[in-house]
Amino acid sequence: MTKTDLMPSLLIRNIKTLVQAEVNPRKVVKGADMAIVPTIHDAYLLMENGRITGFGAMDTCPERADEVMDATGRMVFPSWCDSHTHLVFATSREEEFVDRIRGLSYEEIARRGGGILNSARRLQETSEDDLYHSALERLYEVIGYGTGAIEIKSGYGLTTESELKMLRVIRRLKEVSPIPIKATFLGAHAMPVEFKENREGYIDLIINEMLPKVAEEKLAEYCDVFCDRGFYTVEETDRILKAAAGYGLKAKIHANELDYSGGVQTGVANGAVSVDHLEYTGDAEIEALLGGDTMPTLLPGCAFFLGIPFGPARKMIDAGLPVVLATDYNPGSAPSGNMPFVVALGCIKMGMLPEEAINAATINGARAMELEADYGSIAVGKVANVFITKPIPSLAYFPYAFGKNLVESVVLQGKAWTTPRQ
């Protein structure tokens, strides 16, 4: 490689606290270890060719780099890893929000043909280009909150054509995105009205038509199913996940949002990379999770917005489990992709310590996307995706001051990030 091929080096100096700085990078953080976030005070961070190449105390700081930033009074975090989103959608659904304020439940709205089916109707009528531009805007929005790796699902198509349209939008996002994106096929998100009396017919369509096309075009890494009361049963979920595995798609499922659905156990039995939601998690679910490598992922933005119980993060961590926090960014149950707010909710509503919430939103989130080798912490060799905070007095101040925008600047692949104008 010639000198001109090299990207300029970037040095951040005088960092008040370098957060999640790992000498021996961990793949996952569980149980009591979740309360530990390695930090270095009065630190520097060196990035070259898009990767982290050095960090340490200021008295060992390199003399020069191509570019230098001063972070006096500020902390540097590894970017958030948001492992569960539905970032591609046609329109917002605030009319359902108002219906819920007036007394209807999320499930009642879904039974009336609202909810996911409402988003599907609108998405089917929206062009791939329009979906792409609105999703790109949301991607840039969440990058501004400090997100540096993300998963995005289909699931608002519910026809072969529209599911593929969503996944092609995600592929286009991957081509231009400065952060890695993992794509998840969620054809089994809801039962389309025309298949209400013929559930088997839709599941056959997923297995015999959608999955082969998704695999042929290499449009997704994972397969998701909404395994819950009123959506997909354990048996249906199992069938779909096994068919997906035959095409090399690993599972990452929605489970136990509305009831003790058996979804957690089904996910673990199918070797799911993660099982997500878990508002209804009891001893049997915890037992199942302790027996596997599946990452339990909690989505407090959804519990907050829908007014449903928060997942029992405290109980899960005390049982020795790892916990992941993600946004679930979607128009129906969590219309926000704000990871700092999710971290704050983890602390305020789920009894997580700031350190536990930070581990859940960084290294464990990376693990829930199988990206932990390259993202989720400050470690030599990892991709240099980090953010610099505004001046803050302590680590705990970050979730404490909920709703305050404390992300001052974002560095992606070792370069200061500015949002392009669309």
119 binds, among Fe ion, ligand NIG, none (CB under 5 to 8 A by kind): ligand NIG
Please give the helix or strand (H or E) that residue 15 lies within, else none: strand 10-19
Q: By rule CB under 6 A, what string of x and - marks binding of each residue 218-247 to ligand NIG?
A: --------x---------------------
Of 139, 223, 211, the residue nearest 181 (C-alpha): 139
Residue 331 engages ligand NIG in binding (rule: CB under 6 A): yes
Cα–Cα distance, 39 to 50 (Å, whole number): 22
Given candidates 74, 168, 239, 254, which one binds ligand NIG under the rule CB under 6 A? Answer: 254
| 324-353: contacts with Fe ion (CB under 5 A) | 328
* 329 three-class SS: coil
Residue 155 or residue 376: which is nearer to ligand NIG going by CB?
A: 155
Given candidates 302, 339, 350, 411, which one binds ligand NIG under the rule CB under 6 A? Answer: 302
Given candidates 17, 85, 119, 126, which one binds ligand NIG under the rule CB under 6 A? Answer: 119
H helical segments located in 15-146: 94-101, 106-111, 116-124, 128-144
Q: In whole angstroms, how close is the CB of 224 to Fe ion at the nearest point?
A: 8
| Sole window of 29-37, 115-123, 394-402, 412-420 interacting with ligand NIG (rule: CB under 6 A) | 115-123
| Sole window of 2-10, 53-61, 73-81, 322-330 interacting with Fe ion (rule: CB under 5 A) | 322-330
Cα–Cα distance, 375 to 386 (Å, whole number): 10
Q: What angle do CA 285, 232, 300 make, to 5 degrees?
A: 55
Cα–Cα distance, 61 to 64 (Å, whole number): 9
Residue 257 engages ligand NIG in binding (rule: CB under 6 A): yes
Q: Going by C-beta distance under 8 Å and a sequence separation of 6 or more, which residues neighbour residue 348?
A: 399, 402
Given candidates 333, 359, 362, 389, which one binds ligand NIG under the rule CB under 6 A? Answer: 333
Of 287, 223, 234, the residue nearest 256 (C-alpha): 234
Of 119, 83, 115, the residue nearest 306 (C-alpha): 115
Residue 55 or residue 185: which is nearer to ligand NIG going by CB?
A: 185
The tokens for 333 are 């149950």
Residue 332 engages ligand NIG in binding (rule: CB under 6 A): yes
| Sole window of 53-61, 73-81, 323-331, 343-351 interacting with ligand NIG (rule: CB under 6 A) | 323-331
Q: In whole angstroms, how close is the CB of 334 to Fe ion at the nearest point?
A: 7
Q: How many helices and strands (H and E) does the chain possess?
A: 16, 16
355 binds, among ligand NIG, Fe ion, none (CB under 5 to 8 A by kind): none
Residue 115 engages ligand NIG in binding (rule: CB under 6 A): yes
Tell me the site size for Fe ion, rule CB under 5 A: 1
Q: Is the dihedral of CA 289, 290, 295, 297 positive or negative?
A: positive
Residues that bind Fe ion (CB under 5 A): 328
Residues that bind ligand NIG (CB under 6 A): 115-116, 119, 226, 254, 257, 302, 328, 330-333
